Amino acid sequence: MAPMGVRLSPLGVAVFCLLGVGVIYHLYAGVISNRWAAFRCDVTLLSFGPCRKGDKVDLRDLLAVSVEAAVLGGLEVKKTRNGDNLEEKSKGKTREGADELLTTGDLRSHRKMFNLISSTFPDVTVISEEHDNTVEEAASWSRNIPADILDKIKGGKDVSAERVTVWIDPLDATQEYTENLVKFVTTMVCVAVDGKPVIGVIHQPFADFTAWAFVGQGSNVSPRASYSVSPPKTIVSRSHSGQVRSFVQDAFGNSTTIIEAGGAGYKVLSLVSMPSSAKEPVDEADVYIHVTFIKKWDICAGAALLNALGGHMTTLKGEDIDYSGAALNKGGLVASVGVDHKALLERLPKGGPEQL
Annotated binding site for Mg(2+): 129, 169, 171-172, 298
Name the residue type at position 205: P
Backbone angles phi, psi at 55, to 5 degrees: -110, 25
Between helix 59-82 and helix 104-120 the angle, nearest 10°, is 160
Please give the helix or strand (H or E) that residue 268 lies within, else none: helix 264-269
Distance CA 61, CA 132 (A): 26
Distant-in-sequence, close-in-space partners of 319: CB < 8 Å, separation ≥ 6: 331
Rounded Cα distance, 81 and 39, in Å: 46
Say if residue 67 is exposed, middle or buried (CB neighbours under 10 Å; 0-12, 13-18, 19+): buried
Q: Which residue ranges are tagged as binding site?
A: 129, 169, 171-172, 298
168, β-bridge pairs:
128, 189
Kindly report the number of other CB atoms within 10 A of residue 273's CB atom: 16
> For residues 296 and 189, what is the distance between their CA atoms, to the nearest angstrom?
11
CB 301 within 8 A of CB 200: yes
b/e 305-340 (16+ beta carbons within 10 angstroms → b) = bbbbbebbbbbbeeeebebbeeeebebbbbbbbbbe
User: What are 204's strand-pairing partners?
Assistant: 209
Q: Give the list of residues 6+ apart from residue 24 with CB closer than 8 angstroms, or none.
A: none
